[in-house]
């Protein structure tokens, strides 16, 4: 059982790498072969891929140049409409 658990931990790590775009070609091939026969790892990979996509979308929304400029302008004291003008 320990060997099976260690193997799944290894494939879960590969799922994370692949979902983030950091797995090598050899790692991807190995993972794809494993996912054909392992429904629990396939489910984990799908969840990681979905989560990674959502995080990328959020990061893009936050870190676009326009969003960065808006954040900088809104954090500057002179742009504060409620400020007493000091």
Q: Which residue matches tokens 């400020």?
A: 83
CA 63, CA 57: separation in Å to the nearest integer?
Answer: 10
pTM: 0.64
pLDDT given for residue 57 in this prediction: 86
Answer for the pair 14, 30: CB distance below 8 angstroms, yes or no: yes
- What pLDDT digit, counting tens, does each position of 22-38 carry? 999 999 999 999 999 99
- The pLDDT > 70 percentage for the chain reads 69
Residues whose CB is less than 8 angstroms from the CB of residue 67 and which lie 6 or more positions away in sequence, other chains included: 61
Q: What is the mean pLDDT of the chain?
A: 81
């Amino acid at each position: 059982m320990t060997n099976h658990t260690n193997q799944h931990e290894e494939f879960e790590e590969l799922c994370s790498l692949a979902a983030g775009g950091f797995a090598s070609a050899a790692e991807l091939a190995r993972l794809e072969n494993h996912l054909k026969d392992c429904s629990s790892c396939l489910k984990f990979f799908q969840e990681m891929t979905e989560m990674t996509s959502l995080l990328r979308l959020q990061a893009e929304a936050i870190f676009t140049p326009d969003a960065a400029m808006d954040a900088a302008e809104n954090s500057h004291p002179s742009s504060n409409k409620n400020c007493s003008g000091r």
